[in-house]
Amino acid sequence: MIRYLSALALASLAIGLAPAATAQAAAVAPAAPLPNPCRTFTVQSARVLLHVSSHTHLSEKLTSATKPFPSRTCTVRRAKQKLTVVTQHHAGGLGMGLHCYKRPKLGSHGEVCVSTVKAVHFSFVVFRKLVGKHGVYLSDGINETLPHQGNALYTFALAQRKAL
């Protein structure tokens, strides 16, 4: 079962592991700067996904990494809930423990995955979007096993894709 490296990074972040590199990611250098993932969504869409009112404070943190692959990560927190948005240029693989659903409205690479492991709670969506002349993979993850095939996260990603 092949998935994208950005999905691996999100799943790893959700369960507290370091992301693994692939030969493909290490061999290819990105052609353009990555977009700021904190600017790919609205605060209102994050509030809807996290089920919080406009009076609730959400903390936001932007980080960048160059190893094992170039990426930028925006983490939005509210109490124990964590929404992670990642931008990167590379695709890779991810193993089992997921049930994934293709989402054609997110493009040919678009899908939502929900953890099937009872002890590990996370859901994520992955899609590819052309930003200028370059393809960027976006991954949105949340540390919850979302019901309804991850439709809340899918809705978040659809709005995000349109905003880019």
Any domain includes 22? no
What is the DSSP secondary structure assignment for residue 103, as one 8-state letter? Answer: -
| Residue 54 in domain | yes
Q: Answer whether residue 78 is part of any domain.
A: yes
| 140 band by pLDDT with thresholds 50, 70 and 90 | very high
Tokens of 51: 């089920």
Q: Report how far residue 146's alpha carbon sits from residue 62's, in angstroms, rounded to the nearest whole number.
A: 24
- Please check whether residue 60 lies inside any domain of the structure: yes
Examine the pLDDT at 22 and tell me if it is beyond 60. Answer: no
| Domain membership flag for residue 4 | no
Number of helices and strands in the chain (H, E): 4, 7
In this structure, what is the dihedral angle of CA atoms 84, 2, 67, 40, given to the nearest 10 degrees? -30
Count of domains in the chain? 1
Token code pair at residue 70: 């170039």
Quote the radius of gyration of the chain (alpha carbons, Å): 15
Residue 130 in this model has a pLDDT that exceeds 90: no
Q: How far is CA 36 from CA 48, 71, 85, 128, 155, in A?
A: 21, 10, 10, 15, 20
Residue 115 contacts residue 143 (beta carbons within 8 Å): no
pLDDT of residue 123 exceeding 80, the answer is: yes
Domain that includes residue 87, residue range: 31-163
The owner of tokens 């250098």 is 29
Within a domain: residue 56? yes
144 in any annotated domain: yes
Q: Is residue 3 part of a domain?
A: no
Identify which of 86-90, 96-100, 144-148 has the greatest average pLDDT: 144-148
How far apart, in Å, do the first and last CA atoms of the chain sit?
29
- For the stretch 25-62, pLDDT in tens is 334 444 578 889 999 999 899 999 998 888 888 888 99
Residue 24, pLDDT > 70, answer no
DSSP letter for 149, please. Answer: G
Q: Which of 104, 98, 106, 105 is nearest to 124 (CA)?
A: 98
